[in-house]
Amino acid sequence: MTKITPSGWAGTIFFVVMILALPSLSGGQWIKIFTSTSCFIIAASGVAFMYARLGMVSLGQVALMGVGGWIMLRMNHAFNLPFEINLAVAGGITMVFGWVLAIPALRMRGLYLALITLMAAGGLEVIFSTYRFPNGGTGFWGVMPSVAAPFRRPAIATSDAAYLRYVMLATFLGFALIEAHRRLAPGRAWAMIRRSEAAALASGVNVIYYKAWAFGLSGFLAGIAGGLLAGGLGLLDAATFRASESIMLFALAVVGGARFWLGAVIAGVLYRVLPALFNDWSLDADLTLVIFGAALLHAIITAPDGLSGQIIGLFSKRKGQS
């Protein structure tokens, strides 16, 4: 039986408390902000584990969220299927997109890999801007000029507060999925590949297979995140899935700390909650870019494990002194 670490117990307790308390403590607009924050936490966890476990930089995660959101909206308006089936289809097809994206990138690392994924994100941005997201129309694209048709949420999460709990539970399950991979054969293979691809090959590890597995898992998480975001908003806009947003999400995953689950939470909070707070304070939300830039410099220079690494290190020191 796999042992749950103290960090794992802390994360579980954290999510249980947040699932129970956060929707009750939040107002209408903030419930929607926290819902989208949870969606971006799922996406950030996907790009973070690829960087932490394999050293691969993927700059197309938010674009893949758009793919998942597009499929979720199209499934919702075209078929009378349960929400969970639509979500699984969105995650599965986006996982295939992740594999397709991996084909030219499997033998590349560093700058070249980042550029390929960024170019793919730019191409998807153009598609989203040109053809828009389905809103209940007919035809393949499902777009109509009139008001969008209503989106069907899960029967157990029709209200905004209930849907926030639903999304937060999905976030927890996403972290559990990554942790399961880390502890099983894929995680051991990824660790060897990150240390040395040559040594991994000599040990019989199929490097291409496990890299493709990582891209697929990251794409699946992005698709789930995009599908859940579509359920929260009811309609998506191409501006949400610009290529520059993928760069921002990756940078914030580094700031938060790619090796820890808390890092993805910090990334999502910085990405969605901080700009919303600035708007509430009547400040220009673009000022957050200055903060993000300073935080990224701080992480690169003094905190290789990000803010979460510093937080965990601080608690470890206090525990050792007590």
Q: Which domain holds residue 39?
A: 32-242
Number of domains in the chain: 1
Residue 2 has pLDDT above 60, yes or no: no
Residue 252 lies in a domain: no
| Residue 1 pLDDT exceeds 60 | no
Percent of the chain at pLDDT above 70?
93
Position 24 in a domain = no
Residue 41 has pLDDT above 60, yes or no: yes
Residue 219 counted as domain residue: yes
Are 228 and 87 a contacting pair, CB within 8 Å? yes
Is 279 part of a structural domain of the chain?
no
In a domain, 48, yes or no: yes
Instruction: Flag whether pLDDT at 29 surpasses 90.
Output: no
pLDDT in tens, 259-294: 899 999 999 999 999 999 998 888 888 889 899 988
Q: Is residue 289 part of a domain?
A: no
Question: For the chain, first and last CA: distance in Å?
Answer: 31
Query: Which of 5-9, 113-117, 150-154, 267-271 has the weakest average pLDDT?
Result: 5-9
Asked which of 56-60, 65-69, 114-118, 302-306 is least confident by mean pLDDT, the reply is 302-306
Q: How far apart are CA 47 and CA 63, in angstroms?
A: 12
Residue 5 pLDDT: 65
Is residue 235 situated within a structural domain?
yes
pLDDT per position as a tens digit, 95-132 = 999 888 877 767 666 678 888 889 999 999 999 999 99
Beta carbons within 8 Å of 45's beta carbon, 6+ residues apart? 174, 175, 178, 221, 261, 264
Q: Would 130 be classed as within a structural domain?
A: yes
Mean pLDDT for the chain overall = 88
